Chains A and B, each alone.
Chain A
Amino acid sequence: MRQTLEGSQAIAKTVALCRPQVVAAYPITPQTHIVENISKLVADGALQCELVSVESEFSAASVVLGAAAAGARAYTASASQGILLMSEVLFNIAGLRIPLVLTCANRAVGAPLSIWNDQQDSMAVRDAGWIQLYCADNQEAVDTTVQAFRIAEQCELPVMVCVDGFTLTHTLEPIDVPDQDLVDQYLPPYHFARALQPRQPLSLGTLVAPDYYAEARHSHHQAMLHAKALIAQCDRQWQELSGRASGGLFEVHGASDARIGILALGSIVGTLLDAHAAHVQRDDVQIIKLRSLRPFPGAELAVALSGLSDLVVVERALSPGGGGIVGVEIRSAFHYHGVNVRVHNVAVGLGGRDVPLSTLDRILDLVAHGSAEEFQILDVQLDKLPPEDR
């Protein structure tokens, strides 16, 4: 049913349709309205679930860890500082191979304090061992949330659904929220083979000595690589039911013989597509939406983008002293696979700075003038800084 909803509300309704049994959350600023909306659904009796209002994100993650390990479908949401506070638990959840879904309403990480959007938070826990799926709009957020449970539970890996904070979560859009029947049809009841129960007294989370640790890590890595096919498959299967796909691992928009590619994650993709459609309309430009950062579809991207001459990787985070994050990974993949594409790397929209449609022009100018640096913050205004800090 198509409704005009705020992103957070749509996500909350969707989570409820997935019949979670335990939801835990902590209302750190900047939290979204997701858990507030879930709380309302529980209060109204529209959702039967245990809602645990914890005293920190650390405990939020720990509670859902315990709940999922005990065989309950569990969900939490966080952002920014909260993601970092729970980061130790995030690594733990993944290492324990516990299926969970977490919505990260992407926001900047202080200091300086910023409550606005960028993707520094999820990028910071990129190596935690979670599947990370980035949503370009709220419809994708809804559809990806449903898919995330199915992916997580099939491969025993946690899934982080990354949705740009404010930009998406606080924006009203007309959204198709699926019917309960449809979700039930798509998402079988949660079954966790290693569930904690007295008639199956297993021990989870044992001490692993050096003679096995590498194998444990390898198996985790392999599980992530195997999840690639599953992510694509789950998206197709959801499309068969709902008529909507979210782009599998990544999605390429534009002419197949384009020479210039622009790759982005999250809501910037929408901005770039709109800019392309409305203003630029160049046949030689492709917009690539990278949906799955983890597992990283390096080989697949190398094949799909091998015909380009230039690729601009647009990010909403950086690794200070290193530069871009996704850009480095793509350069590495191209290099390994022998793809000779010039990769430019920029960051935009940090800490909630507006990303206007003109951003596309500026990116294309960079490519045209060959003036791109290895990495730069595109919309930085250096005149605001004293000369020694520029």
Chain B
Amino acid sequence: MTESIINFYELRRKQPRFQGIDAGHRACLGCGEALAARLVLESTGPDVIVANATGCLEVFTTPWPESAWRVPWLHSLFENAAAVAAGIEAALKAQGRQSKVLAFGGDGATFDIGFQALSGMLERGHNVLYVCFDNEAYMNTGIQRSSSTPHAAATTTSPAGKQRMGKRHLKKDIVSIIAAHHIPYAATASVAFPSDLRKKVRRAMAIDGATFLQIHCPCPLGWGHESEESIAVARLAVQTGLFPMIELERGELTGAMPIREQKPVVDYLKPQARFRHLFADDARAREELEHLQALADHNIEIYKLLGSGVDALDSEGADTVRRGGNRWG
């Protein structure tokens, strides 16, 4: 097979995976969200219906008359994806259809504006997997802070300046709030750990009821790192303890990805322009760096993330490659 005679159209059609989002979408270079959404759909397969909140994912996949989706997909509004998904699910139930309903939203749509509809959907126990693509700010509208923006990160509405070191408040602990609905399954995942991500999607898919997955997705534009570093940055978020990878069932912590070797938070912060002000020679900057380190240490403590010894499923071993691929089956 040589490149000149490859029929890319045929080859694309024959890929041994389900590409729920196909090429040609308009996401920025290195978009973590585009990757995460495709990974989710790889694990769900085609028998799903997606309700998508307004946001980057919606915009970059569907510039009419084109669509990147290969699944039935509906975008309504910013704040109602969970309710629309609930309606779709009710319709399927009424019609005796079996497809799984997915709701997709960014962190703004999930943590902030769509939170009420999400809470209602979870309370009513619809058979919906809600996936939050968490890139930690309103990226689609120009990088404004959301309640998911991490402490001290600079955004266009939480800029760093003489009086402020970026966002004053903390990142909302959404997964704990979600888990407090006592739904069967809530978890966090990261694009840097695709095998873990897909395992969690499969777990959620197997449950008849409301489930929730928060996926940490770097945004090169909003975070200010190079496009090729998306995976590396996401990996560091986990390895520093700033983004704990946990699973909660009926509100109880049932799983946590151990960190074999905790990395200092500066490793994670340094490649990102949104934290650049923390590296100024400034007492407040030093304090905020210590603060972020303390937050990471706190996560490690409360979730008991420090693993000892070799664990094939810890932050080092979860995505070990092997010859011949298909490691994520």
Contact = CB atoms under 8 A, between A and B. Distances in A.
Interface of A: 21-22, 24, 48-50, 52-56, 58-59, 62-72, 74, 88-89, 92, 96, 196-198, 200-209, 212
17 contacts: A50-B93, A55-B117, A58-B79, A58-B116, A62-B77, A62-B83, A66-B51, A69-B87, A69-B91, A70-B49, A70-B92, A71-B95, A72-B91, A89-B76, A205-B62, A205-B76, A207-B62
CB-CB nearest 3 A-B residue pairs: A66-B87, A72-B91, A55-B120
Contacts of B61: 203
A71 B97 CA distance: 11
A70 B75 contact: no
B62 A59 contact: no
B58 A201 contact: no
Contact of A59 (B67, B80, B88): B80
B77 A89 contact: yes
Nearest to A66: B87
B74 A205 contact: yes
B103 to A, nearest CB: 10
B64 A67 contact: no
Nearest to B58: A207
A197 B49 CA distance: 7
Interface in B77-107: 77, 79-80, 82-95, 97, 99
B88 A69 contact: yes
A53 B88 contact: no
A196 B80 contact: no
B70 A22 contact: no
Contacts of B90: 21-22, 24, 50, 52, 63, 66-67, 72
A69 B93 CA distance: 14
B83 A58 contact: yes
Nearest to B99: A198
B46 A64 contact: no
A206 B62 contact: yes
B48 interface: yes
Contacts of B94: 21-22, 48-50, 67, 72
Size range of the chain B interface in the assembly = 35 or more
B71 A67 contact: no
B120 to A, nearest CB: 3
Given A202-B72, A206-B63, A207-B59, A58 B87 contact: no
A92 B124 contact: no
B120 A67 contact: no
A24 B116 CA distance: 16
Nearest to B78: A88
A196 B83 CA distance: 16
A198 B91 contact: no
Contact of A56 (B75, B88, B93, B120): B120
Question: What does DSSP make chain A's interface, helix, strand, loop or mixed?
Answer: mixed
B70 A201 contact: yes
Pick from A71, A202, A203 the residue with the most CB of B within 10 Å. Answer: A203
Nearest to A21: B94
Contacts of A52: 86-87, 90, 124
Of A62, A88, A89, A92, the most chain B CB neighbours within 10 A belong to A62
A49 B71 CA distance: 26
Contacts of A69: 74, 84, 87-88, 91
Given A58-B83, A74-B91, A209-B64, A92 B77 contact: yes
A63 B87 contact: yes
Nearest to B71: A201
Interface in B15-71: 46-49, 51, 58-59, 61-67, 69-71
B262 interface: no
Contacts of B84: 62-63, 65-66, 69
B125 to A, nearest CB: 11
B73 A203 contact: yes
A92 B64 CA distance: 16
Contacts of A92: 76-77
A66 B72 CA distance: 12
Contact of A66 (B59, B70, B85, B116): B85
A205 B121 CA distance: 21
Nearest to A54: B120
Given A55-B117, A65-B76, A201-B72, A208 B83 contact: no
A389 B69 CA distance: 58
B75 A206 contact: yes
B95 A72 contact: yes
The winner among A58, A89, A198, A212 for most chain B CB atoms within 10 A is A198
Given A55-B116, A96-B76, A198-B49, A74 B87 contact: yes
Given A52-B90, A89-B76, A203-B73, 19 more contacts: A21-B90, A21-B95, A22-B87, A53-B124, A54-B83, A56-B120, A59-B80, A69-B87, A70-B91, A70-B92, A71-B91, A72-B95, A74-B87, A96-B76, A197-B49, A202-B67, A203-B61, A204-B74, A212-B65
A133 B63 CA distance: 35
